[in-house]
Amino acid sequence: MNFDLVLCGVGGQGVLSTAYIVDHAAVDAGLHFKQPEVHGMAQRGGAVSAQVRLSDRPVSSDLISEGGASAVLSVEPLESLRYMTLLRPDAWVITDVTPLKNIADYPDLPQLFDLLFTLPRVIAVDATRLASKAGAMKAQNMVVLGAAAAHLPLPVELLEKHLGALFGGKGERIAEANRRAFRMGQAAEKFSAALRAASVAPGLVARVVARLSFEPSPAADDVVKAWAERLNRPDGAAFAARVFASRDLLPLDAALPSTLS
């Protein structure tokens, strides 16, 4: 088993914290791993990336080769697109959709999202607002990690164990908020997977999931069914576009919001 992972975002978004949890969970799972230096941390707000290589055999090289990455986890949407040449054809991209415009020529957002949502395997979440809802504004990296957990070769219980170890020293309130953020990400991934299983087009799934407010528990089956039926209608693409254009996160139990129907 070989699993190459790219972690990215900008300075201050917790890329190093995410790497800590993944690395320690890998050790507990009996896997080999290599991770070169995390780049960019010296400049807060600058691009940050880390490459983590996991395997059940010794890993020889620190760096991921072109076409070798199994997943990209990003806490910023533009940063998620910087590593497309590293991705395998079956790779997943899991990203926050909240832009941090840290460069003068930051691309046009509609064009950025149009490109992002053409990827066949993408999970997009409003990690920044979900983290705030969880009780810790800086826990957006844990929302993204939770959304990625089902696609990592690591037991969820080990990820949560080392999440608790990392944040436990900051007090139970912070630790619990980060656990809630992680579980909200898990709920978003489960919802995304359920919509895909109901034959909803991946691009529509990504746009809708990015604008829903998740709880730290999975959505009820009837809620998933209602969203799937609405998105599979002939005007499903237009409906998904209106959902994504919403300024506020929509509640899951409003499966067919009257303002968007």
For every residue of the chain, DSSP letters joined together read -EEEEEEEEETTS-HHHHHHHHHHHHHHTT-EEE--PPBSTTSTTSEEEEEEEEESS----SSPPTT-EEEEEESSHHHHHTTGGGEEEEEEEEEE------STTPPPHHHHHHHHTTSSSEEEE-HHHHHHHHT-TTTHHHHHHHHHGGGSSS-HHHHHHHHHHHHGGG-HHHHHHHHHHHHHHHHHHHHHHHHHHTT--HHHHHHHHTTEE--SSPPPHHHHHHHHHHHTSTTHHHHHHHHHH-SSPEETT-SS-TTT-
> What percentage of residues in the chain have a pLDDT greater than 90?
76
Residue 50 belongs to a domain: yes
- As a whole number of angstroms, the distance between CA 257 and CA 261 comes to 6
pLDDT band at 42 (very low <50, low <70, confident <90, very high): very low
Name, in order, each residue with C-beta under 8 angstroms of 17's C-beta and a sequence gap of 6 or more: 141, 166
- pLDDT higher at 42 or 77: 77
Tokens of 197: 């299983």
Res 186: pLDDT: 98
Task: Answer whether residue 41 shows pLDDT above 60.
Answer: no
Write out the residue range of the structural domain in which residue 100 sits: 2-182
Residue 259 burial by CB count (10 A; 0-12/13-18/19+): exposed, middle or buried?
exposed
- pLDDT higher at 29 or 33: 29
What is the tally of structural domains in the chain?
A: 1
Res 43: pLDDT: 53
Res 47: pLDDT: 81
Name, in order, each residue with C-beta under 8 angstroms of 220's C-beta and a sequence gap of 6 or more: none
Residue 167 belongs to a domain: yes
CATH of the domain at 35: 3.40.920.10
Residue 212 belongs to a domain: no
Structural contact between residues 188 and 147, judged by C-beta atoms closer than 8 angstroms = yes
Q: pLDDT by residue (tens digit) across 159-211? A: 999 999 999 988 999 999 999 999 999 999 999 999 999 999 999 999 999 99
- Measured in Å, how far apart are the chain's first and last C-alpha atoms? 45
pLDDT band at 34 (very low <50, low <70, confident <90, very high): confident
Task: Answer whether residue 256 shows pLDDT above 70.
Answer: no
Residue 201 belongs to a domain: no
Residue 88 belongs to a domain: yes
Res 261: pLDDT: 62
Name, in order, each residue with C-beta under 8 angstroms of 173's C-beta and a sequence gap of 6 or more: 135
Residue 221 belongs to a domain: no
- As a whole number of angstroms, the distance between CA 202 and CA 121 comes to 7
Task: Answer whether residue 21 shows pLDDT above 50.
Answer: yes
- As a whole number of angstroms, the distance between CA 18 and CA 74 comes to 10
Tell how strand 47-55 and strand 32-34 pair up.
Answer: antiparallel
Residue 259 belongs to a domain: no
In degrees and rounded to multiples of 5, residue 199 shows phi and psi of 70, 25
Res 259: pLDDT: 56
Residue 142 belongs to a domain: yes
> What percentage of residues in the chain have a pLDDT greater than 70?
93
pTM summary value: 0.94
Tokens of 159: 């990820």
What is the number of alpha carbons within 13 Å of residue 23 lying toward its C-beta?
16
CA 27 to chain centre: 22
Res 182: pLDDT: 98
**What is the chain's mean pLDDT, rounded?**
91
- pLDDT higher at 151 or 34: 151
- pLDDT higher at 123 or 13: 123
Q: pLDDT by residue (tens digit) across 231-243? A: 999 999 999 999 9
Q: pLDDT by residue (tens digit) across 101-134? A: 888 889 999 999 999 999 999 999 999 999 999 9
- As a whole number of angstroms, the distance between CA 63 and CA 222 comes to 44
